Amino acid sequence: MTTRDGKDTQAIAQAVEALAQGDLVGLPTETVYGLAANACDDAAVGRVFSLKERPANHPLIVHVAQAQDVRHFAAQASDFAQRLMQTFWPGPLTVILPRQPQVAAAAAGHLPTVALRCPAHPVAQTLLAACAARGMPGLAAPSANRFGRVSPTQAAHVQAEFGPALLVLDGGPCAVGIESAIVDCTRGAPVLLRPGQIDGALIEAAAGCALRARSAADARAPGTLAAHYAPQARLRLMDAAQIRAALDVLGAGAAHIAVYARAPVRAASRRVIVRRMPQNAAATARELFAALREFDAAGVKLIWVEAPPPEPPWDGVRDRLARAAASA
Ligand code: AMP
Ligand code: MG
């Protein structure tokens, strides 16, 4: 199997069949590409963990075609959780809810809770609806990359990670580009576990209540590890003046360095890759992971990134870059 056009109905049918057999499928969503398995098939979900080399105690997000399908997996949903789903689904928001104890145990890492998301991407929507019609009401799908590495935002990235044995549905480049915002809805008040494109202020407005600050007890799983989303090269966050000063020191001898900055930066050496970061957060999120992969492919050893501004729309990008820098 290999990459197939996600709009091709035969490819969708082939993917449904593969999932029903317990195989895995590369799935486009608006956030990043997922490595999907039937959420109710613990053996298939086990293959996701082993292919990704992901520790078994890092639970997966279960994707559903529509909010109604949440009832298969969640025992209940608080009022604010329902408001969040109504406001942001389909879209890049994941809610953590109490789990129906008899389903999706492996996907949930055997926790009493389950993470649920309804993706907006048309190929994900089509596949999820076809799976639901085939008796598979949810797909467990973490990002389709090896554990700790940069998430894929194009079908080719998934194929590069896992090779031609995996069927990948090609839905084009991901429109959001960073993983979903995750809100724990099992603690009486919403707790933001991972920032995404939807920022805290929007979540509070939709929930109708304030976010509760995260405590150590809320820290579960990979999106919340200090070091994650790491390119091969070492990534450093700097301000524009630091980047310019460092390039000046190295002068024409600078090599194996990529610079990713919003401010204009010029390098004396042609062996430095300089790429302009977009001025807005959404455009940066969209290209961020592909840019990191391109720097890696060019063989750079260092990636110097201008730190994103402190404003809320940049929270998701800032979070991913901080974790990538922590891995260096
Ligand atoms: P990923 O699939 O790699 O984008 O990450 C899934 C994220 O969902 C993890 O990083 C966890 O933070 C979160 N998650 C999934 N299931 C649960 C759960 N039952 N309780 C708390 N967090 C969860
Ligand atoms: Mg991931």
User: How many domains does one find in the chain?
Assistant: 2
Q: Is the pLDDT of residue 193 over 80?
A: yes
What pLDDT was estimated at residue 223? 47
Alpha helix segments (H runs only) across the chain = 9-20, 42-52, 79-88, 122-133, 155-162, 200-207, 240-250, 281-297, 315-326
Centroid of ligand 2 to alpha carbon of 34 (angstroms): 9
Residues 80, 168 within the same domain: yes
One domain for residues 263 and 175: no
User: What percent of the chain clears pLDDT 90, i.e. is strictly above it?
Assistant: 91
Residues 188, 299 within the same domain? no
User: Residue 120: inside a domain, yes or no?
Assistant: yes
CATH number for the domain including 264? 3.40.50
DSSP secondary structure letters along 112-143:
SEEEEE----HHHHHHHHHHHHTT---EE--B
Q: Which domain holds residue 251?
A: 234-326
Instruction: Name the token pair of 2.
Output: 């290999």
Query: How does pLDDT run across 86-121, given as a tens digit for each residue?
Result: 999 999 999 999 999 999 999 999 999 999 999 999
Residues 182 and 255 occupy one common structural domain: no
Say yes or no to pLDDT of 10 above 60: yes
Q: Are residues 113 and 70 in the same domain?
A: yes
Among 207, 222, 245, identify where a domain stops: 207
| 173 and 274 inside one domain | no
200 pLDDT more than 80? yes
161 vs 52: CA distance, rounded Å: 9
Integer Cα distance of 75 and 83 in angstroms: 17
Q: Which ligand 1 atom is at minimum distance from the Cα of 111?
A: 19
User: Ligand 1: does its nearest atom lie under 6 Å from the Cβ of 195?
Assistant: no
Q: How confident is the model at residue 258 (pLDDT cuts 50, 70, 90)?
A: very high
Terminal-to-terminal C-alpha distance of the chain: 35
Residues 133 and 20 reside in one and the same domain: yes
Q: pLDDT at position 56, please?
A: 83
CA distances from 196 to 12, 104, 207, 257, 315 (A): 28, 25, 16, 28, 7
This prediction has a pTM of 0.95
Ligand 1: distance of its center to the CA of 114 in Å?
Answer: 8
Pocket residue to mutate for ligand 1, from 31, 60, 63, 191, most atoms within 8 A of Cβ: 60
Per-residue pLDDT reduced to its tens digit, 269-327: 999 999 999 999 999 999 999 999 999 999 999 999 999 999 999 999 999 999 999 97
Q: Which of 220, 55, 27 is nearest to 140 (CA)?
A: 27
- Whether the per-residue pLDDT at 219 is higher than 70: the answer is no
Among 207, 222, 255, which residue terminates a domain? 207
CATH, residue 110: 3.90.870.10
CB 238 within 8 A of CB 304: yes
Going by their DSSP bridges, the two strands 257-261 and 272-276 should be labelled as: parallel
The pLDDT value recorded for residue 2 is 85
Q: How far is the CA of 296 from the centre of ligand 1 (A)?
A: 27
Does the residue 215 lie in any domain? no
One domain, residues 165 and 245: no
Q: Name 275's Cβ contacts closer than 8 Å, sequence gap at least 6.
A: 258, 259, 260, 291
Residue nearest to atom 11 of ligand 1 (CA): 221
The answer to whether 198 touches 91, Cβ cutoff 8 Å, is yes
The answer to whether residue 221 is domain-embedded is no
Question: Could you tell me the distance, in angstroms and rounded to a whole number, from the CA of residue 163 to the centre of ligand 1?
Answer: 25
Mean pLDDT for the stretch of residues 246-258: 95
153 in a structural domain: yes
219 found inside a domain: no
Mean pLDDT value across residues 157-181: 97
Residues 245 and 197 in one domain: no
